[in-house]
Amino acid sequence: MRELPGVGHVDGARRDAAADGARVRRLALALALLAAVVLTGGALLGSAPDARADDDDRGGRDAFDDDRWESRDVGDRMDARGEAFPDPGGGAGVPIDFERDEIVASGLSPGDIDRLQARGFFALQRRRLATLDVEEVRFRVPRAYSVASAAQLVRDIAGGATVDANHLYRPAADPCAGRACRVRQLVAWAPLADPCEADITVGLIDTAIATDHPTLRGSRIENHVARGADRKPGGRSHGTAVASVLVGRAPGEVVGLLPSARLVAVDAFHAGSGGDRMDAFDLLAALDQLLALRVRVINLSFAGPSNTLVEQAVQTAERRGAVLIAAVGNAGPRAAPLYPAAYPTVIGVTAVDEALRVYRRAGQGTHVTLAAPGVDIPVANTGGWLARKTTTQSGTSIAAPFVTASVARLLGAHPRLGPEEVRRQLSGRTRDLGDPGQDAIFGHGLLQAVAHCRTAAVPLLR
């Protein structure tokens, strides 16, 4: 059929104009949605599960659990004890709990290091940790070796060495939306006069802290870094949230248990695939820094695998009189115990909500010492210049600072107590939850805080 002159051109122009109009409308809608997300601090994007809407009742772990990492490039990997990680198909969903091509060791002589380098090992970093009295070495493993076989070769070459995988630890907090809980009342927390808290010193190993955040302005935060020079700095969200629970100075907005205390914070986390993480090598250095500064009360709001070198450092810290408080982790009730909370001398903390129900992601077991508020807790928000100043988070990471602050107060009242006596005192002043006595879900029960101090300072380490 013959086309009439000009008709095809006019129809095409009309179609082009209509398409342009549709594109403009779509762009306007996208910009409006983006503005709404920014102005609501991301609330329109949904929220992570809380204590009542978690991963599942079987304790399974998903990609957003705080105490494991997922890889899209896994391949055949062995753990430090020579056991293969399960591969559920296609190399997906396998937790990365150590650097796949690294090991850490101590007790090596210069000759041992030379012999290992001759076999293809590369010493990425060496550090003398004076307070722990060890020299740690981080090696890159030759491609021909698995982590397990590399560790065994080190043992064969240097019989007296301590060697393990360079395990990874990650923050144990899940962001969630919800109203701020009346958490101080749950643990019988009463404010103290500034002179009583002014000389309290608390240590924190975590991510970096946004000390310029409005809820932390005026807080006495002393920042240190224990991250290897070859590591890219991580974010500041987790460390800032934990710091706001401990020393926040915005009453009614964040918990701020010890607003006048001194916080000695060590940033030991680095950016990695999937988010911020810390390896065993840098964790050792962070502990060494705090012990060298004679910090006696140390908050560890992270969880990961057991590591031989870390276990030895924890034992050294305890012998020197330090009290370590750690999150039990959010891998689920049927997960294996996570560390450092599961080491015998560490106070392991689980999380409960305002109705005293256990956080459904929280780990369970005999290593749970105490329960503390950890669901929908108001914390400092580092979401951007247009984001709300505060948000709420859930997880055992957020529960641990409640116990840490109470330990600091207890030592202020009774400065001669040792770590084991501190554990006994706190365990004896709880509100029993669950089965009578200590149980695998709540430990000894809900923390009931020390409400007074009789001295002006928490004593530093010997």
The pLDDT of residue 250 is 76
Mean pLDDT (the chain, rounded): 81
End-to-end CA distance of the chain: 100
Task: Decide if pLDDT at 310 tops 70.
Answer: yes
Confidence at 459, pLDDT banded by 50, 70, 90: low
Closest CA to 351 of 301, 304, 392, 399: 399
Q: Which residue has the higher pLDDT, 196 or 303?
A: 303
Q: Which helix (H) or strand (E) holds 352?
A: strand 347-352
CB atoms under 10 Å from CB of 77, counted, come to: 18
pLDDT at 189: 79
Residue 455 has pLDDT above 90, yes or no: no
- In this prediction, residue 86 carries a pLDDT of 32
The one-letter code for the residue type at 268 is A
Active site residues: 206, 238, 397
Burial status of residue 242 (CB atoms within 10 A of its CB: 0-12, 13-18, 19 or more): buried
Under a CB-based contact definition with an 8 Å cutoff, are residues 363 and 337 in contact? yes
Query: What is the value of pTM for the model shown?
Result: 0.75
Model confidence pLDDT, tens digit, residues 402-413: 999 999 999 988
Alpha-carbon span 177 to 387, nearest angstrom: 14
Tell me the average pLDDT across 110-133.
96
pLDDT recorded at residue 118: 96
**32-76 pLDDT tens trace:** 666 554 544 444 444 333 333 333 333 333 333 343 322 223 233
Q: Which residues have C-beta within 8 Å of that of residue 181, sequence separation ≥ 6?
A: 353, 354, 373, 375, 376, 377, 378
Give me the pLDDT at residue 192, please: 57
pLDDT at 84 over 80: no
- As a whole number of angstroms, the distance between CA 462 and CA 454 comes to 20
**CA torsion, ordered 96, 97, 103, 107, to nearest 10 deg:** 180
List, edge to edge, every strand of the sheet that includes 347-352. 220-225, 262-267, 201-206, 297-300, 323-327, 347-352, 368-373
C-alpha 243/C-alpha 209 separation (Å) is: 7
**Among 18-27, 153-162, 426-435, the least confident range:** 18-27
Give the model's confidence band at 154: pLDDT under 50 very low, under 70 low, under 90 confident, else very high: very high
d(C-alpha 370, C-alpha 187), whole Å: 11
Quick one: pLDDT band at residue 20, thresholds 50, 70, 90?
Answer: low
